[in-house]
Amino acid sequence: MEIDMTGKTNRSNEELTKRRVSISDQILGLDNPGFDHHRRISASSEHNSDQGRGKSIMQHGGSTENIQHKFDLENGRINGNRKKSTYSLTSSIRDKIQYSEELERIRSRSWLYLFCTRCHGRDDTPSWEPPGWRKACPHPFCPSYRKFARILCLFLLGLLLWGIVYTILGDDAAPGGQLFGLAALCITAHFAGWLFSLTTLPALIGMLITGIIFQNVGLVHVEGSYTVVVSNLRKIALVIILTRAGLDLDPNALKRLRVTVPKLGLIPWIVETIVVATLTSHFLELPLVWGFLLGSVVAAVSPAVVVPCLFRLRAKGYGVAKGIPTLIIAISGIDDAASVAIHGIMKSIMFSHDALWYQIIQGPISIIGGLGFGVLWGWLAKYVPEKGDPYMVPMRVLMLLGGGLVAVFGSEAIELGGAGPLAVVAAAFVSCYFWQTQGWEVDDNPVATAFEIFWMIFEPILFAMTGTQIKIDELDSKTVYLSLGCLLAAFIIRIIVTILVGVGSKLNLKEKVFIALACMAKATVQAALAPTTLDRIDQNNPKEMYYAETVVTVCVLSILLTAPAGAILITLSGPKLLTKTTAPMVPPEGWKARRPSIRDISIINEDPDLEETANERKP
């Protein structure tokens, strides 16, 4: 850098106009478009505002106040061309900022940058890092040290747990043992689900496919006493998902939508159940009772698929004004409760060895008994534990979990399988209602958050175990084609019925179509209820084996067919079919952030019951 202190100003204006401002050759930058090229740049000078010239940033320097400096930067670059230029410190800083912002914009358009950002997330919270970590592992292409340390800690804890189990059980926990295979299956399913979630598809699809691959490649074998273990794990997962469904049902939302929800939820559900039962009985040669059992399972809408998609749409303001997210979530809750009740009743009748008159009344007994136990247990959870107890939250969690497990396993023991799952939903809903009167909001329920954590553990177990029931070499291609045909026909009929049932409400045609498409997604209930018949049938009876395996096959096909399609349709059709309003606030990121759930779909600023409002406005 050459510094000229002479202060001579005998250069012509023409020569000065040829000079342009650039940054040093260490950084490739852009010219400053706001620079006045018709004046010399002084390191310290007085400039009056009436002359249209700004003050120098160094004008307050003591000894250099009246000294004029000229900075000539040798080897400067302008878009890659070397030339001398007059240089300003303020424009240098401004150019460097513009350059860094432009570089960030260019880099952010890279698919690799976007993928890594989505994978690792933006970690803006301060944390301790070893010296040189950022240079060795730049963000977001590498995880932060906090995330790396967390993963390493979980890995070490897993090794410790495996070592303890191995010392107790021996070969079963060693590579090649059944327990080791089940553990590897669940861990791999969790990782596969995480990969699928990066593509905005439901994580459960990756978990289900992992189970299918492990079974057909021969990496997992479930036999002997471990069949009982797998069966019990599925029942525990059923308790957890049904408890979540009950806790996430908003009593105020159901009250406000008391006309629209039953009509849009139950009527299409009944039609789809009948269609599936009729078609499968005719084409797949299932007995009518097996057909209705299958139809009651397939007709359920999956909150695990629709909730994250609706959460993203609601964050952008789509459908909030008319309460579309709340309406769809309430419909899925009603569908799940109906599916659980009817499936349990049909299963009790199918496997009951009692007299005909008792089989006939088993349905009402299951409904009354399940609702009675659930309401009683939920009411008891209002008073036990006491609301001011410092251990209130964990004790309430254990109350619901223990009550649900007793209901499900106890109902199976007394051959009233339909009562248990219905009691779980009822107990969770009633307890949530009473806790809400004590000050707990539906969208801020710590018990529901605890069950979300439980579900994160049992979700890969449930879907991976369900996938292991599919043996591709034993599938009949004709059965698969007929099953797909029956499912497609039932889905199309349900979409049409949902649109027709919505006639008379304040919903327009586009909103009716969106609701019909959203209610097509299947996943959670199908995975939880489909394999339950395998635990009750006679394994030596080929007909019962065929019926039970057909039920599992159709349910798995319904998940593979509708879960990704439903997520994609909700995401793509939402902005086109729903009206956009002001976007609500998004939950905070960091340690307070959690997975999207039904409780994220708030009813704040949403209209009351659609049909009642429309009827009130009629003259």
Characterize 584-599 residue by residue with b for buried, 16 or more Cβ atoms within 10 angstroms of its Cβ, and e for exposed: eeeeeeeeeeeebbbb
Q: What is the pLDDT of residue 3?
A: 44
Of all helices (H) and strands (E), which one includes residue 71? Answer: strand 70-78
Q: What is the pLDDT of residue 298?
A: 93
Confidence category of residue 618, pLDDT binned at 50, 70, 90:
low
Q: What is the pLDDT of residue 280?
A: 93
Confidence category of residue 120, pLDDT binned at 50, 70, 90:
low
Q: What is the pLDDT of residue 477?
A: 86
Q: What is the pLDDT of residue 46?
A: 43
* Under 8 Å between Cβ of 86 and 71: yes
- With 0-12 CB in 10 A as exposed, 13-18 as middle and 19+ as buried, what is 183? middle
Q: What is the mean pLDDT of the chain?
A: 76
- What does the pLDDT look like over 201-220, one tens digit per residue? 788 889 989 999 998 888 88
Degrees, nearest 5: CA angle 604-258-416: 115
Residue 73: beta bridge partners? 85
- CA-CA distances (angstroms) from residue 99 to 80, 82, 83, 94, 103? 14, 18, 19, 9, 6
Q: Which of 207, 249, 200 lies closest to 570, judged by CA? A: 200
The mean per-residue pLDDT over the stretch 576-602 comes to 53
Confidence category of residue 226, pLDDT binned at 50, 70, 90:
confident
Nearest-angstrom CA–CA distance, 245 and 329: 10
Q: What is the pLDDT of residue 441?
A: 78
Helix (H, G, I), strand (E, B) or coil at 517: helix
Between residues 235 and 5, the one the model is more confident about:
235
**Can you say how many angstroms the Cα of residue 495 is from the centroid of all Cα atoms in its chain?**
24
| pLDDT value at 505 more than 80 | no
| pLDDT value at 285 more than 70 | yes
| pLDDT value at 224 more than 70 | yes
- CA-CA distances (angstroms) from residue 450 to 236, 396, 404, 405, 580? 15, 10, 15, 16, 33
The mean per-residue pLDDT over the stretch 266-271 comes to 93
Q: What is the pLDDT of residue 171?
A: 85
Give the highest mean pLDDT range of 533-537, 554-558, 582-586: 554-558
Lowest mean pLDDT among 150-159, 280-289, 317-326, 525-534: 317-326
Degrees, nearest 5: CA angle 433-437-441: 75
| pLDDT value at 456 more than 60 | yes
Lowest mean pLDDT among 138-147, 203-212, 299-308, 522-531: 138-147
Which alpha helices (DSSP H) does 351-441 contain, by range? 356-383, 392-413, 419-437
| pLDDT value at 492 more than 60 | yes
| pLDDT value at 595 more than 70 | no
Between residues 68 and 475, the one the model is more confident about:
475
* Under 8 Å between Cβ of 372 and 426: no
Amino acid identity, position 159 = L
Confidence category of residue 122, pLDDT binned at 50, 70, 90:
low
Q: What is the pLDDT of residue 95?
A: 54
| pLDDT value at 304 more than 60 | yes
The mean per-residue pLDDT over the stretch 78-101 comes to 48
| pLDDT value at 526 more than 50 | yes
- What does the pLDDT look like over 38-65, one tens digit per residue? 444 444 444 444 444 444 444 444 444 4
